[in-house]
């Protein structure tokens, strides 16, 4: 009886694991689009703003977008060349 | 790994339930904390303190005293810019009572240094550096001086020598993979008397640039003093980021 329950539990666990994993095709898509939902914040922004509704943009969204859209260290002047502490 | 609840014929749910309750409560509390952390708490809506140079990091007694006395005003300025001008980003330690390097002695200017997040356009790029600087000066320097000089005690403080507004924007995006974008920068220095005249309405916007010292940089290359013109520009007070939602409890005049 105990063995049967254990087998049942193992089977259910395996099914849950399979349901939670991406298929090979899904992984291929994911690898082809590495920046999609690149961060948890992007995921939350996307789920908060459903398609067809006016998006709500917070200050944190803007900061994150700016940080994550980094295109490289700019060539610019350092503040220490203009001001002294 | 042990299962949380092992099935057993002799399971006594009356006895198990009280033991499970604290576990469930702890679990729910943990889930709630994680959800709050991911959703962002009101505290994260505040700008980072890193934008204000702490008093002890100023290098003269005069500057430390100014930074201590007007610490609240600096943090208020930082918060205002953060929430009400979300398209700009104040740099780390960008607000402080700094000494302009080109001046002698311990001249202390309340300074702000920020990056303006705007995409370069062909029209804007076609202007000369003086023309681009004039547009940026007119758009930002007047409104920033009004915000920075808002505390009457600060404007009347004899140990304050003036105000600095440093504006930086993207001149040219990286043109090749692995390349680096190039920014342009102007640093505007206005003495305290001129600022007082300007905020009181005694000095019109068109005369402000003529009373200011403006230094320019193309990337990291110093251009020296540049001549700019100025005029009234209400961009800062009228521009709205599309669908931008102010944080709770924040209002922008």
- On whether any CB of chain B is under 8 Å from the CB of A57, the answer is yes
- Domain assignment present for B74: yes
Residue B92: pLDDT over 90: yes
Q: What is the ipTM of this complex?
A: 0.78
- Domain assignment present for B53: no
- Domain assignment present for B214: yes
Residue A67: pLDDT over 80: no
pLDDT of residue A28: 47
Q: Bigger pLDDT: A2 or B196?
A: B196
- Domain assignment present for B187: yes
pLDDT in tens, A7-26: 655 555 554 444 444 455 54
pLDDT in tens, B52-78: 999 999 999 999 999 999 999 999 999
- Domain assignment present for B186: yes
Into how many domains does chain B fold? 1
Range of the domain at B222: 69-173+180-236
- Domain assignment present for B248: no
Q: Which residue of A has its CA nearest to B39?
A: A44
Q: How confident is the model at residue A34 (pLDDT cuts 50, 70, 90)?
A: very low
The pair of structure tokens assigned to B138 is: 């007119």
**Do residue A66 and residue B40 have CB atoms under 8 angstroms apart?**
no
- Domain assignment present for B21: no
Per CB-CB distance under 8 Å, the chain B contacts of A1 are: 9
Instruction: Kindly list the domain boundaries of chain A, sorted by start residue.
Output: 1-33, 35-69
Per CB-CB distance under 8 Å, the chain A contacts of B86 are: 59, 62
Q: What percent of chain A has pLDDT over 70?
A: 31
- Domain assignment present for B111: yes
- On whether any CB of chain A is under 8 Å from the CB of B110, the answer is no
């Amino acid at each position: 009886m105990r063995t049967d329950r254990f087998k049942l539990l193992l089977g259910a666990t395996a099914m849950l694991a399979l349901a939670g994993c991406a298929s090979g095709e899904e992984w291929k898509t994911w690898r082809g689009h590495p920046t999609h939902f690149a961060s948890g914040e992007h995921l939350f922004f996307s789920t908060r703003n459903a398609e067809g509704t006016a998006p709500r943009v917070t200050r944190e969204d803007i900061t994150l977008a700016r940080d994550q859209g980094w295109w490289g260290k700019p060539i610019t002047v350092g503040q220490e060349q203009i001001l002294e502490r | 790994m042990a299962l949380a609840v092992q099935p057993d014929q002799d399971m006594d749910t009356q006895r198990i339930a009280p033991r499970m309750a604290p576990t469930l409560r702890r679990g729910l509390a943990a889930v709630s904390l994680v959800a709050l952390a991911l959703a962002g708490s009101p505290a994260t809506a505040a700008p980072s303190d890193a934008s204000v140079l702490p008093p002890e990091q100023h290098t003269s007694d005069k500057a430390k005293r100014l930074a201590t006395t007007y610490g609240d005003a600096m943090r208020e300025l930082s918060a205002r810019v953060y929430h009400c001008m979300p398209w700009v980003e104040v740099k780390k330690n960008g607000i402080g009572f700094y000494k302009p390097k080109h001046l002698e002695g311990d001249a202390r200017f309340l300074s702000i240094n920020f990056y303006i997040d705007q995409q370069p356009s062909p029209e804007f790029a076609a202007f000369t550096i003086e023309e681009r600087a004039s547009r940026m000066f007119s758009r930002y320097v007047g409104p920033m001086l009004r915000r920075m000089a808002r505390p009457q005690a600060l404007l009347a403080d004899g140990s304050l020598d003036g105000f600095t507004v440093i504006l930086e924007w993207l001149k040219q995006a990286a043109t090749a993979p692995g390349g680096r974008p190039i920014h342009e920068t102007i640093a505007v220095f206005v003495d305290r008397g001129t600022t007082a005249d300007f905020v009181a309405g005694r000095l019109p916007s068109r005369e402000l640039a003529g009373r200011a010292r403006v230094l320019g940089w193309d990337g990291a290359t110093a251009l020296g003093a540049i001549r700019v013109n100025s005029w009234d520009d209400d961009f800062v007070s009228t521009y709205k980021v599309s669908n931008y939602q102010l944080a709770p409890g924040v209002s922008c005049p």
